[in-house]
Amino acid sequence: MKGVNWSELDVCIDDYIGSAGFDLDELPNRVDPLTTSREELALARYKMWQPGQRLRIRFLDGEQALHWRVEEQASQWLKYANLEFEFGNFPDAEIRITFNGSGYRSLVGTDALKRPSPFPTMTLGGFTVNTNATELRRVVIHEFGHAIGCVHEQSSPSIDIPWDVEKVYAYYARYGWDKAKVDDNVLKRYKKHEVFHTEDHDEDSIMQYPVNKALTIGDFEIGWNTELSEKDKIFIAKMYPKEESLRW
């Protein structure tokens, strides 16, 4: 599906502070994915910024031309969400981005305030001015989704991914992940009171986490999404409305 390359571990770490933790009893039921209702986007209820809030964003490293590319893609959210991004060399910026290291991750919403400056709140590891446009768009929009409070679709309270749990553990063990890390980053689900979410399934969501068919029961599989979906746009506009009175 969509040319997914599973030969490399390329998952985004949903860097979530204060999670209620993983409970094996809360694993999704192994049900037919074609008949279940899933959600495309879930938003951490207690980690949202205020509608209309101005967030200052600072690059800790990287070239100016790369900063512009990131800024352009990040700002796609602002067509729909009532937030402001101000990019600049602010010492106390709420969101601090590094291109050093490997992997992609971001703190979720206001958790960024819990990490002292100058430590990064978002890692876009290895990006350069030459990074492929589709890859850069996919990752930047997704990580900024976390930065404004979105969590992974797979972690939604009512999603039913028919994981083959033992295969999941075995797969990530090859990358040195122990079971606790897999629980936190792959199998974890949020409790219903922790997140806002929509009812209709939208597997095109930018926050939809790819699911490898080899790790599920049956043929269940989700590929990479690379753009905001129509439902992403509608949902984030409801979460950060222009008028406070319209807020859910």
Measured from the CB atom, the residue of 206 and 239 that comes closer to Zn ion is 206
In angstroms, what is the minimal distance from the CB of 12 to Zn ion? Answer: 3
Count CB neighbours of 48 within 10 A: 20
- Sequence-separated (6 or more) residues with CB below 8 Å from residue 130: none
Measured from the CB atom, the residue of 14 and 232 that comes closer to Zn ion is 14
Measured from the CB atom, the residue of 106 and 216 that comes closer to Zn ion is 106
Measured from the CB atom, the residue of 21 and 103 that comes closer to Zn ion is 103
Strand partners, 195: 44
Q: Please report, as ranges, the residues that interact with Zn ion according to CB under 5 A.
A: 12, 14
Cα–Cα dist 155/95, whole Å? 23
Neighbour-count burial for 118-151, b at 16+ CB within 10 Å, e otherwise:
eebbbbbeebeeebeeeebbbbbbbbbbbbbbbb
Measured from the CB atom, the residue of 227 and 241 that comes closer to Zn ion is 227
213: which 2 tokens? Answer: 């068919």
* Closest to 229 (Cα-Cα) out of 161, 124, 174, 150: 150
In angstroms, what is the minimal distance from the CB of 15 to Zn ion? Answer: 8
In angstroms, what is the minimal distance from the CB of 19 to Zn ion? Answer: 14
SS3 track for 196-207: EECCCCCCCCCC
In angstroms, what is the minimal distance from the CB of 35 to Zn ion? Answer: 27
Phi and psi of 216, rounded to 5°? -120, 165
Which pairing describes strands 54-59 and 95-98: parallel, antiparallel, or unpaired? parallel
In angstroms, what is the minimal distance from the CB of 152 to Zn ion? Answer: 5
In angstroms, what is the minimal distance from the CB of 139 to Zn ion? Answer: 9
Among all residues, whose Cβ is closest to Zn ion?
A: 12
Measured from the CB atom, the residue of 14 and 160 that comes closer to Zn ion is 14
Task: Compute CA 57 distance to the chain's CA centroid, rounded to the nearest angstrom.
Answer: 18
Which pairing describes strands 104-107 and 122-124: parallel, antiparallel, or unpaired? antiparallel
